[in-house]
Amino acid sequence: MERTVELPSSASGKGFTRFWAFTSVLLCVLFVMNLALGVVTLTPERLLTAFVAPAADPAATAILFSIRLPRALLACCAGALTALAALTLERIAENGEGHDPGWSGIMALGALGAVVALTVAEGAPWSAPGALIGSGTGIALFIVAQRRLRRVWQRRAVGWSVAMIAPVLAFALLIGDVRIATWVRWRLGSLEQRDWQTWSGVWVLLLIAAPVGLASASKSGFLWTRYAGATLTAATVVVAAGAIGWIGQAAARWASVAATSGMQRAIAAVLLGAVLLIGIDLAARGLTALLPSLSLVSEVPVGALLVVLSLVSFLTARIRK
């Protein structure tokens, strides 16, 4: 008999309050660190000046509001929605397993859809509809695999295969194209060059995906509502940060330690997802400073670190068994 992932037991309501307070403080600390640290370090004095008297330090103001603030906000939103997507996939599968929207192949197909739209329509605004179609196709394939395949390893093999094949197809579409760097960021998952222009293609999806995703992740609902929630959240993450793995499943599992209800678990997962992605993005930027210059990307993609974390998590789980 196949073993499935067993979620930790729920904690008391007081435990959730402590968890919520600690995670919120940690998120605020990491957020401020993302605003302050980079190629140009902004001291607390310069940060405060940029907020209260922007004209007094134009350079710090430009760095803060044009580059780092939109990126940090995007990291929080993408991490939170990834966690909601993972929770919704659990409700779709209804088999007690943890499912990651990245390693299930859903985000990979979303990224492929964005690339197809980018290639055919030759316009960045079409990447969002492309991501929605690709993610929706990935969810449909996920549902078929969950219903038709009886063994855990078979279902996971399908997801892993899609997660590896879809990028190859995307590469074939853009090979020799000047937008190949865009493909690399979409595929690996990266917050590089994410600014307010990126928000122009994300904010509409975000306003819809956030409430729908929260509802589908915290309540039972019908299959079509879960399908819509998973599709919207996964597609929004792809447009915002690309295909990112591990964070969703990790946040969903760890949230169960502090959760006493479906809504509490969804809130805990949202906080954890935001903390994980903004923290890993900060680590990726720090690692970039220690490495020689890269080719298609100017900094280490967060997805590269997430692959390492995924392997470590997988091997640790196998050793414990």
Taking only the tens place, the pLDDT of each residue in 64-100 is: 999 999 999 999 999 999 999 999 999 998 877 888 9
Task: Quote the CA–CA distance of 234 and 222 in Å, as a whole number.
Answer: 19
What is 11-25 written as a DSSP string? --HHHHHHHHHHHHH
- For range 203-208, the mean pLDDT: 92
Q: What is the DSSP letter of 192?
A: T
Specify the higher pLDDT residue, 316 or 110.
110
Q: How confident is the model at residue 296 (pLDDT cuts 50, 70, 90)?
A: low
Q: What is the DSSP letter of 220?
A: -
Question: Counting beta carbons within 10 angstroms of the beta carbon of residue 140, is it exposed (0 to 12), middle (13 to 18) or buried (19 or more)?
Answer: middle
Q: What is the pLDDT of residues 258-281, one digit of tens each?
A: 777 788 999 999 999 999 999 999
Task: Quote the CA–CA distance of 251 and 262 in Å, as a whole number.
Answer: 14
Exposure of 183 in the CB half-sphere (CA atoms within 13 A): 23
What is 146-159 written as a DSSP string? HHH--SHHHHHHHH
Specify the higher pLDDT residue, 114 or 171.
114
What is 309-321 written as a DSSP string? HHHHHHHHHHHH-
Task: Spell out where 155-241 has E strands.
Answer: none
Q: How confident is the model at residue 176 (pLDDT cuts 50, 70, 90)?
A: low
With 0.75 as the threshold, say if the pTM is over it. yes
Say which residues have a Cβ less than 8 Å from residue 182's Cβ, sequence separation at least 6. Answer: 118, 174
Q: Are 313 and 276 in contact (CB under 8 A)?
A: no
Q: What is the pLDDT of residues 6-38, one digit of tens each?
A: 444 444 567 788 888 999 999 999 999 999 998
Exposure of 40 in the CB half-sphere (CA atoms within 13 A): 11
Q: What is the DSSP letter of 67?
A: I
Exposure of 215 in the CB half-sphere (CA atoms within 13 A): 15
Say which residues have a Cβ less than 8 Å from residue 161's Cβ, sequence separation at least 6. Answer: 105
13-320: in CATH 1.10.10.10 = no
The tokens for 28 are 């605020």
Task: Quote the CA–CA distance of 165 and 157 in Å, as a whole number.
Answer: 12
Q: How confident is the model at residue 190 (pLDDT cuts 50, 70, 90)?
A: confident
